[in-house]
Amino acid sequence: MSDATVSPAEVSDSGDRDFQIRILPQVSDEEFLKVLTAVKVDPPARGILLPKMKHLNILLKDVECRAANIIKQEMLSLGADAAVARGTVSCSIPATDVILMGTERQIRSFADHVRVQPFGLKSLSEKLERILAGYRATDLVLSTNRREIPFGKRTRIMGIVNVTPDSFSDGGRYLSTQAAIERALELESEGADILDIGGESSRPGSDFVSVEEELKRIVPVIEGLRGKVRVPISVDTLKADVAAAAIEAGAEIINDISAMTFDPKMPSVIAEKRAAVVLMHMRGIPKTMQEGPIVYPDLMGEIIAYLAARIEHARSMGIRPESIVVDPGVGFGKTVRDNLAILRNLSELKIFGRPILTGVSRKSFTGAMTHVEDPAERTEGTAAAVTACILHGSHIVRVHDAGATKRLVSMADAIVREEQR
């Protein structure tokens, strides 16, 4: 955003003035403060005005009508508003969805006001405060069993190493241990911040492999990389025994596409080993996830509810909150339209206050939009999708080509993140 300038208004008895008018976009606190400074707002007033510049629309699902009426009145009393269904005022309907509409300051005041109100509004107040804190969090940290990985200043690149014969894009290319090690080293040299090693394909229609086969594929690779790479190693698996062996071999992150629903032993392994974990949204299993009609009455609502439940389960099993990453599961049980909608609405996942991982590289929806059938040729579609992810809040992008992505990320971060300019 360019610096704002204010020219002294010419005094005119006619009342005719040529006002310059701009609608300011919703940008970072730093950008808003620049505008306030350029307008020469008194420094103590800038902190007061900043929350008033940030408008929020917050959706509350299935609110009991008596609570909804209190919410409506409290929001109106603050100069804000709340949208409710017809019939709410008379309570002729049992419940309604509610949209809170106001500045961040008004929403925070509302949360404070309803803390003492009945009908469950105290819990709403507490949850709103947690969500707002998560949504505004910028300097996040991911704790593994070996290090702390900071996020906020730049987007991290996760390089894919498929030690499989049947992955959709590069199946078979890195099936030998030596080929996989060389590929991992190449990805690190190109700029990958994390290496994600997988021994089982999760492409649509794929079958599970045995624990023994998966271990045979990935453990020698991890052991071969130990001491040769500086970046953390992630393992793409949904099996607890594989995760345990991988962590012992040197892995720090378990990328579980089932969000620890496939193997009930997985949470205990993660907690005991103090590893980090990626929790991803997926319907069904890879073999069947794209079969039949795929319908989401509320796509983002389902993803958020699912991830919230999985985060709560992880915490209840002793997994540290600071060791969790969330992933909306682009391409896993979703249509092309669904995948595009996730990218547009990705910022909704910021409410968790945890790093967001997105995997869009070479996926079929990028081919569908660019009319490119060969996954290896979906370069432009992947670049556009990765850029959209960064612009909408992704902290980690999982890709096949680290070199090109490194250059793309440098440009996207320069646009999004003030620290890069």
Report the C-alpha gap between 75 and 110 in whole angstroms.
6
Active site annotation includes 363: yes
Average pLDDT, the chain: 90
Q: How far is CA 133 from the centre of its chain?
A: 15
Choose the catalytic residue: 363, 407, 417, 421.
Answer: 363
In the chain, what percentage of residues exceed pLDDT 90? Answer: 72
pLDDT of residue 421: 44
Choose the catalytic residue: 398, 406, 407, 421.
Answer: 398
Active site annotation includes 398: yes
How large is the average pLDDT for residues 33-53?
85
pLDDT of residue 144: 98
396-399/156-162 β-pairing = parallel
3-state SS class at 25: coil
pLDDT surpassing 60 at residue 22: no
Options 3.30.1330, 3.30.1050, 1.10.260, 3.30.1370; CATH of 55-136: 3.30.1370
Cβ contacts of 386 within 8 Å, gap of 6 or more: 358, 360, 361, 397, 399, 405, 408, 409, 412
pLDDT of residue 38: 84
pLDDT of residue 381: 96
Q: What ranges make up the beta strands (E) of 129-274? A: 140-143, 148-151, 156-162, 194-198, 233-236, 253-256
pLDDT of residue 164: 87
pLDDT of residue 55: 86
pLDDT of residue 5: 45
Q: So where are the chain's domains?
A: 1-53, 55-136, 140-420
Angle at 299 between CA 75 and CA 104, to 5 degrees: 25
Burial of 296 (0-12, 13-18, 19+ CB in 10 A): middle
pLDDT surpassing 60 at residue 8: no
pLDDT surpassing 50 at residue 1: no
Cβ contacts of 263 within 8 Å, gap of 6 or more: 238, 239, 240
Report the C-alpha gap between 363 and 349 in whole angstroms.
21
- One-letter identity of residue 172: G
- The mean-pLDDT minimum among 29-33, 36-40, 58-62, 208-212 falls in 29-33
Report the C-alpha gap between 211 and 101 in whole angstroms.
51
Please give the DSSP secondary-structure letter assigned to residue 356: B
Helix intervals (H) in 39-140: 43-49, 65-77, 104-113, 121-136
pTM for this predicted structure: 0.88
Convert the pLDDT of each residue in 394-407 to its tens digit. 999 999 999 999 99
pLDDT of residue 54: 80
Convert the pLDDT of each residue in 277-289 to its tens digit. 999 999 888 888 8
Helix intervals (H) in 192-323: 211-225, 240-249, 266-273, 299-316
194-198/156-162 β-pairing = parallel
Convert the pLDDT of each residue in 84-140 to its tens digit. 999 999 999 999 999 999 998 999 999 999 999 999 999 999 999 999 999 888 889
Q: Distances from the Cα of 20 to the Cαs of 10, 12, 33, in angstroms?
A: 13, 16, 20
> Which of residues 170 and 178 earns the better pLDDT score?
178
Mind giving me the DSSP string for 319-344?
Answer: --GGGEEEE--TTSS--HHHHHHHHH
Angle at 343 between CA 338 and CA 344, to 5 degrees: 95
- Model confidence at 16, in pLDDT bands (50, 70, 90)? low
pLDDT surpassing 90 at residue 170: no
Q: Which fold has domain 140-420?
A: TIM Barrel (3.20.20)
The token pair at 406 is 């490194």
Q: Which residue matches tokens 């894009």?
A: 169
Convert the pLDDT of each residue in 362-375 to its tens digit. 999 999 999 999 99
Report the C-alpha gap between 189 and 61 in whole angstroms.
47
